[in-house]
Amino acid sequence: MGYFGNIIDGIKTTAQGLKITGAYLGKNLKTRGNDVFALQYPDEKLPIDKVTHRGLHEYDVDRCISCTLCAKACPVDCIYIESVGKGKSAIMTRFDIDYSKCLFCALCVPPCPSECIVLGEKYSLPGNSRDDMIVKFHEGVFPIQVKSDLAKTMVEEFQDEGLFALKKSKREENGVPTRVEQDPRKNTDLN
């Protein structure tokens, strides 16, 4: 597009924007401000549709078996799962989701054999960097299923290092959150 073409295009899109603004202004004046077009977020929020809404994940580490099926189903590879060991003796060491990549498509939900991951209602995740968009749903180390001696030994070693509590009750005793609703990122008010 040439020089004058750009100017004409600029005028056209500005007029288009003003037309939309004018239409809303007129509508608002007509309804005497009873229709809501803008809210003072975060003090005011629109209600969410609990059936169709797809917000931040809710994840239950207690039921997760670290099978990685959710991560494999994710089209953008934004679920990071790491574990030590194999099969029933595996110990999960990481379960993070990078929300700077997540599409909220929910494709990670159906494959989960434990039904321990769903898209929840919370949607607010403020942050100043891309790293802030990575939610650590599970930090430290947690045994998937402690059945073999090897796993028990590994668990004890990790425990000695103070990295985790062996059972849910123990984690609770130590104030370690077990569910995402309890806010995986300290000092962050997820909505």
Q: How far apart are CA 38 and CA 34, in angstroms?
A: 11
42: cis peptide before it, omega within 30°?
yes
The verdict on 74 binding ligand SF4 (CB under 6 A) reads yes
- Residue 118 binds to ligand SF4 (criterion: CB under 6 A): no
- Find the binder of ligand SF4 among 116, 118, 125, 176 (CB under 6 A): 116
Indicate the residue among 37 and 104 with the shorter CB distance to ligand SF4: 104
Beta bridge partners of 95: 81, 138
- Distance, CA of 106 to CA of 36 (rounded, Å): 30
155, 90 in Cβ contact below 8 A? Answer: no
Asked if residue 144 binds ligand SF4 (CB under 6 A), the reply is no
Q: Which of 8, 23, 25, 107 binds ligand SF4 (CB under 6 A)?
A: 107
Q: What span, in angstroms and rounded, lies between the C-alpha atoms of 167 and 142?
A: 8
Is position 191 an interface residue for ligand SF4 (rule: CB under 6 A)? Answer: no
Q: 27 or 130, CB closer to ligand SF4?
A: 130
Contact set with ligand SF4 (CB under 6 A):
64-70, 73-74, 76, 78-79, 81, 97, 102-108, 111-114, 116-117
